[in-house]
Amino acid sequence: MDDERAKTRKPKPTSSGSISSFSSIAKSLFFAMARKSVLKQTLATVLLVIVMYVLFNTFFNPSDSSKLDSTFPFNSDTATVLINDVYRESDGKFSSSLSSSPPVKVYLYELPTRFTYGVIQHHSLARGGQPAEDVTTLKYPGHQHMSEWHMFLDLHRPESERVGSPIVRVLDPEEADLFYPPFFSSLSLIVNPTMRPAEGSEKPLYSDEENQMAFVEWLEEQDYWKRNDGRDHVIMASDPNALYRVIYRVKNSVLLVSDFGRLRPDQGSLVKDVIVPYSHRLRTYEGDVSLDNRNTLLFFMGNRYRKEIDMLETEGGKIRDTLFQLLESEVDVIIKHGAQSRESRRAASQGMHTSKFCLHPAGDTPSACRLFDAILSLCVPVIVSDDIELPFEDTIDYRKIAIFVETSAAVKPGYLVSMLRAVASDRILEYQKELKEVKRYFQYGEADGTVNEIWRQVSKKLPLIKLMINRDKRVVRKEPDCSCLCTNQTASRTS
């Protein structure tokens, strides 16, 4: 009998859809409450009301999705806006800054004059110039490692003129993330006509080696250098021979170099340091993408025989001589010896502007200024330098703007010219378009050009700098194999 009564009270399924289901649930809860205490009946009633409200709104009054989205801070519409804000339509690339993080704070040391304008003065005096009453009026001389001058000028500009810069100069060193001592080390290297006086000759009035030592000794006396052993300092040494006598004493710092050709593994690395472009010395090509008037297949003008280091000729020097022998008889190739001079620069500009490809062989070191001259001439670089490191490779894909040829292949008779002659005209135009897109990265004089990109690269080192500073405080110092973290050679400090 009880079973039959239970069956009569059991709600029957209906085909009237969602409303019948709601009614069945309500009846079940109602009869359940009748058998329970008052407290349980109250709780069930509350639950019933909530369930009915939710179900009713779900099926009979669905919410506008836009109203629902508005209750969340990151809905699809705002995500689109954020992406559009990050995406820079001007160059079709994502901004390097995905958030409004504050700029990196840089403190510019006020160095003694002997390390800045004093170097300019000595350079002028060595070439017959007269002493200046105010050395700050002297003009920095043009050469292929002028990056130190452009960085110095940048930090002296008002903030309103430093468009797009990822760093800001601070006057209080306590506020600084990084420190920049602006020694003109590359200019100091070439003050005298030769690096070392000939044996038995009179000692020159200016000594680069003495100035290097004096600079490091001054730097090592600074409290902010001693605080973190120079790890949060940024030092320009763009000429491969700059600071050659003292580089081991500043190797903890972020070094701004043109390549690692003269640095040992424990002195420089891509992880810690930044590759900077050579200064562009030739006339920039102002024409459009085109093969008109580019009748020369391949162009090169530079020293055929390179310097000897420690009595042994560099591999780059051997390669150049071999390439000269292979290419100088080709009818549509111009390859000739040329030293640094105004006439040579004028001839090199003309040659690059009228050639499809420009050769970049290794020299004393893996890189050289003509690579960047070629880029700004829209002359497709042909790079024959197996150990070359290139600036800003996280931003620029050099395969789109240059042709890389292994040295072992390039020195095979006929290989290089046959390969270049097989490149279709449309493909050369594609190279030129890409070259035009990246030109600003190699123009130091541009408002948002090379200097800003160097500072962006330096800014990206800041997390590693902080890591190394904190790590140094807790580990036992061991002599590393390289200038960055290569292997786990640490141990906890016990004192």
Q: Residue 410 maps to which CATH number?
A: 3.40.50.2000
**61 pLDDT exceeds 60?**
no
Whether residues 307 and 337 share a domain: the answer is yes
- With tokens 């290139």, the residue in question is 390
Assign 27 a pLDDT band (cuts: 50, 70, 90): low
Element (H, E) at 420: helix 415-421
Whether residues 113 and 250 share a domain: the answer is yes
Q: What is the DSSP letter of 84?
A: H
Mean pLDDT of the 138-157 span: 96
E-state strands within 49-163: 87-88, 93-94, 104-108
Whether residues 243 and 358 share a domain: the answer is no
Q: Is residue 312 part of a domain?
A: yes
**209 pLDDT exceeds 50?**
yes
Whether residues 352 and 388 share a domain: the answer is yes
Assign 196 a pLDDT band (cuts: 50, 70, 90): low
Q: Is residue 65 part of a domain?
A: no
Whether residues 263 and 306 share a domain: the answer is no
380 C-beta neighbours (distance < 10 Å), count: 25
Q: What is the pLDDT of residue 304?
A: 81
- With tokens 């009818």, the residue in question is 331
- With tokens 């590393």, the residue in question is 480
Cβ atoms 259, 367 nearer than 8 A: yes
Mean pLDDT of the 135-155 span: 95
**421 pLDDT exceeds 60?**
yes
Judged on CB neighbours under 10 Å (0-12, 13-18, 19+), 44 is middle
Whether residues 196 and 138 share a domain: the answer is yes
**78 pLDDT exceeds 60?**
no
Q: What is the pLDDT of residue 101?
A: 75
Of 251, 155, 171, 227, the closest CA to residue 455 belongs to: 155
Domain count, the chain: 3
326 C-beta neighbours (distance < 10 Å), count: 19
Q: Please give the residue that has the higher pLDDT: either 345 or 63.
A: 345
Whether residues 18 and 142 share a domain: the answer is no
Cβ atoms 219, 225 nearer than 8 A: yes
Q: What is the pLDDT of residue 133?
A: 93
Q: What is the pLDDT of residue 344?
A: 87
Q: What is the pLDDT of residue 365?
A: 86
Alpha-carbon distance of 410 to 416, in angstroms, equals 6
Q: What is the pLDDT of residue 449?
A: 94
**355 pLDDT exceeds 50?**
yes
Q: Is residue 89 part of a domain?
A: no
Whether residues 135 and 254 share a domain: the answer is yes
Alpha-carbon distance of 245 to 204, in angstroms, equals 18
Alpha-carbon distance of 346 to 357, in angstroms, equals 18
Lowest mean pLDDT among 29-43, 316-330, 407-421: 29-43
- Taking the chain, what is the end-to-end CA distance rounded to the nearest angstrom? 87
Q: What is the pLDDT of residue 458?
A: 98
Q: Is residue 233 part of a domain?
A: yes
Q: Which amino acid type is present at position 375?
A: I
Lowest mean pLDDT among 43-57, 405-419, 433-447: 43-57
Mean pLDDT of the 382-386 span: 96
Domain, as residue range, for 13: 2-60
Q: Please give the residue that has the higher pLDDT: either 82 or 178.
A: 178
Q: What is the pLDDT of residue 71?
A: 35
Q: Taking the alpha carbons of 314, 315, 321, 327 in that order, is the dihedral positive or negative?
A: negative
Q: Is 17 left (phi over 0), alpha (psi -120 to 50) or beta?
A: left
- Give the number of residues written for the chain: 495
Residues 6+ apart with CB under 8 A from 268: 251, 255, 257, 260, 483
Q: What is the pLDDT of residue 474?
A: 87
Q: Which amino acid type is present at position 367?
A: S
Assign 487 a pLDDT band (cuts: 50, 70, 90): very low
**Token couple for 317:** 């020097």
Alpha-carbon distance of 280 to 202, in angstroms, equals 35
Q: Please give the residue that has the higher pLDDT: either 380 or 368.
A: 380
Residues 6+ apart with CB under 8 A from 439: 284, 375, 376
Assign 318 a pLDDT band (cuts: 50, 70, 90): confident
Cβ atoms 275, 389 nearer than 8 A: yes
Alpha-carbon distance of 460 to 272, in angstroms, equals 10
Q: What is the pLDDT of residue 153?
A: 97
Whether residues 263 and 333 share a domain: the answer is no
Alpha-carbon distance of 376 to 450, in angstroms, equals 13
**Token couple for 468:** 């190394």
Please report, rounded to a whole number, the percentage of residues in the chain having pLDDT higher than 90: 61
Whether residues 234 and 303 share a domain: the answer is no
Average pLDDT over the chain reads: 81
Q: Is residue 427 part of a domain?
A: yes
Mean pLDDT of the 283-290 span: 94
**15 pLDDT exceeds 70?**
no
What predicted TM-score, i.e. pTM, was given to this entire model? 0.76
Residues 6+ apart with CB under 8 A from 374: 352, 358, 360, 380, 381
Q: Is residue 290 part of a domain?
A: no
Q: Is residue 493 part of a domain?
A: no
Q: Is residue 79 part of a domain?
A: no
Whether residues 109 and 247 share a domain: the answer is yes
Cβ atoms 273, 454 nearer than 8 A: no
**222 pLDDT exceeds 70?**
yes
Q: Please give the residue that has the higher pLDDT: either 19 or 184.
A: 184
Whether residues 116 and 200 share a domain: the answer is yes
Alpha-carbon distance of 323 to 382, in angstroms, equals 12
Q: What is the pLDDT of residue 66?
A: 39
